[in-house]
C-alpha cells in the first residue's frame, strides 16, 4: 500500500532518478543523463561511478546502461511472493487452453505489478511483461485484486494516484469504482472491456492463501473479439485460481 513519502534521502533519490533515466533512454552518455535529471555532470558522474562499482550500471563504449545486477534482485523479489512459483505452470496451461495471454499480478504501494506473463502462440499482443506496472482500476485482473482491499485502502489509492483515464472506457469515478468492486467481490470475478487498452477484454480473479487472504490475482487478456465465450473463459480463469490456491496452501 502507499507509503509515507515525507522522509526521503536526496542522494538515494538522485541515484534512482539516474537509473530510471538510463532505462527510459535505453542507455545514454554522461551529458545526456545530466541534462535529463537536471544535475551537474560532475554530480552525475559520482553517482554513476558508485553504481558501476556495485554492478548496477555498466559502460558500453561512450554510453552507460542499466546492469544485469538488477535481474538477480528482481528475480529474488518476485520469488518472495507466495503465488509466483505455484502459479507458473497453471498460467502456461491457461494461456494454451484459452489462446490468450495469462498473467499473475500483485499490488505494491498501490500499483499493480505483473509477476508472470504467459502468451499462447496465437495470442494478440496486449503490452504485458513481468515487471510491468499498471493502475489497478484499469483492468479486470487489477480490479479482482482491488476488490479484496478495504474501502479505506481503496480510497487511499484513489487519493494518491487518482483514477487516470487510459481509454474512454476506464472507470474514472470513485463511486462507480466502489460499486464495480463490490460486484466483483460478490461474484468472485472481474470482467473489464477496454479499460486499459481499447478493444481489449480482461478477465481476472483473486488468488488466496490458506487463511483466505488475497495475495495476488490471475487473469487473461486479449482482443475482445478473440474471447468468443466469456462465460467459458471466466470459468477457466476461476478453476485455475482454485488450483493455485491449493498449491499455495500445500507449498
- Show the domain range for 85: 79-249
Q: Pick the closest to residue 188 from 175, 177, 204 (CA basis).
A: 204
Q: Judge if 213 and 157 occupy the same domain.
A: yes
What pLDDT sits at residue 46? Answer: 97
Q: Judge if 139 and 241 occupy the same domain.
A: yes
| Residue 74 resides in a domain | no
Report the CATH number at residue 84: 3.30.450.40
Name the band, by pLDDT with cuts 50, 70 and 90, for residue 142: very high
Q: Judge if 188 and 243 occupy the same domain.
A: yes
Report the CATH number at residue 44: 1.10.10.10
Residues 34-56 have pLDDT tens digits of 999 999 999 999 999 999 999 99
Per-residue cell: 147: 476488490
Residues 14-27 have pLDDT tens digits of 999 999 999 999 99
What pLDDT sits at residue 226? Answer: 84
Q: Judge if 138 and 52 occupy the same domain.
A: no
Q: Are 85 and 248 in contact (CB under 8 A)?
A: no
**In this prediction, what percent of the chain has a pLDDT beyond 70?**
97
Mean pLDDT (whole number) for 4-12: 75
| Residue 73 resides in a domain | no
What pLDDT sits at residue 224? Answer: 86
| Residue 1 resides in a domain | no
What pLDDT sits at residue 5? Answer: 55
**Predicted TM-score (pTM) of this structure:** 0.88
Average pLDDT, the chain: 94
What pLDDT sits at residue 225? Answer: 83
| Residue 72 resides in a domain | no
Terminal Cα distance for the chain, rounded: 26
Q: Judge if 20 and 55 occupy the same domain.
A: yes
Q: Judge if 30 and 142 occupy the same domain.
A: no
Per-residue cell: 153: 485502502
Q: Judge if 119 and 198 occupy the same domain.
A: yes
Mean pLDDT (whole number) for 143-166: 97
Q: Are 131 and 209 in contact (CB under 8 A)?
A: no
Query: Residue 73 and residue 129: Cα distance in Å, rounded?
Result: 17
Strand order in the sheet with 214-223: 133-134, 111-119, 101-108, 214-223, 200-208, 190-193
Number of domains, the chain: 2
Is residue 236 predicted with pLDDT exceeding 90?
yes
Q: Please report which residue ranges of the chain form alpha helices under DSSP H.
A: 10-25, 30-37, 41-53, 69-79, 84-98, 140-146, 151-161, 174-187, 230-249
Residues 80-127 have pLDDT tens digits of 999 999 999 999 999 999 999 999 999 999 999 999 999 999 898 899
Task: Report residue 56 CA to chain centroid gap.
Answer: 22
Q: Judge if 146 and 45 occupy the same domain.
A: no
Name the band, by pLDDT with cuts 50, 70 and 90, for residue 167: very high
Please tell me what DSSP assigns to residue 172: -
Amino acid at each position: 500500500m502507499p507509503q509515507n513519502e515525507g522522509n526521503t534521502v536526496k542522494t538515494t533519490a538522485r541515484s534512482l532518478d539516474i537509473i530510471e533515466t538510463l532505462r527510459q533512454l535505453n542507455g545514454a552518455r554522461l551529458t545526456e543523463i545530466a541534462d535529463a535529471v537536471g544535475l551537474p555532470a560532475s554530480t552525475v558522474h559520482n553517482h554513476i561511478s558508485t553504481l558501476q562499482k556495485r554492478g548496477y550500471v555498466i559502460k558500453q563504449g561512450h554510453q552507460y546502461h542499466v546492469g544485469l545486477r538488477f535481474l538477480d534482485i528482481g528475480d529474488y523479489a518476485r520469488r518472495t511472493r507466495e503465488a509466483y512459483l505455484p502459479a507458473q505452470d497453471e498460467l502456461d496451461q491457461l494461456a494454451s487452453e484459452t489462446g490468450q495471454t495469462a498473467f499473475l499480478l500483485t499490488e505494491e504501494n498501490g500499483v499493480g505489478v505483473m509477476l508472470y506473463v504467459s502468451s499462447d502462440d496465437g495470442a494478440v499482443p496486449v503490452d504485458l511483461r513481468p515487471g510491468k506496472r499498471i493502475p489497478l482500476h484499469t483492468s479486470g485482473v487489477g480490479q479482482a485484486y482491488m476488490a479484496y482491499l478495504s474501502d479505506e485502502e481503496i480510497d487511499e489509492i484513489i487519493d494518491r494516484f487518482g483514477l487516470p483515464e487510459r481509454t474512454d472506457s476506464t472507470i474514472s469515478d470513485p463511486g462507480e469504482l466502489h460499486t464495480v468492486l463490490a460486484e466483483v467481490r460478490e461474484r468472485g470475478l472481474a470482467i473489464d472491456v477496454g479499460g486499459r487498452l481499447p478493444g481489449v477484454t480482461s478477465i481476472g480473479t483473486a488468488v488466496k492463501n490458506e487463511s483466505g487472504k488475497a495475495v495476488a490475482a490471475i487473469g487473461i487478456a486479449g482482443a475482445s473479439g478473440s474471447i468468443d465465450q466469456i462465460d467459458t473463459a471466466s470459468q477457466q480463469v476461476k478453476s485455475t485460481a482454485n488450483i493455485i490456491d491449493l498449491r499455495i496452501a500445500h507449498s
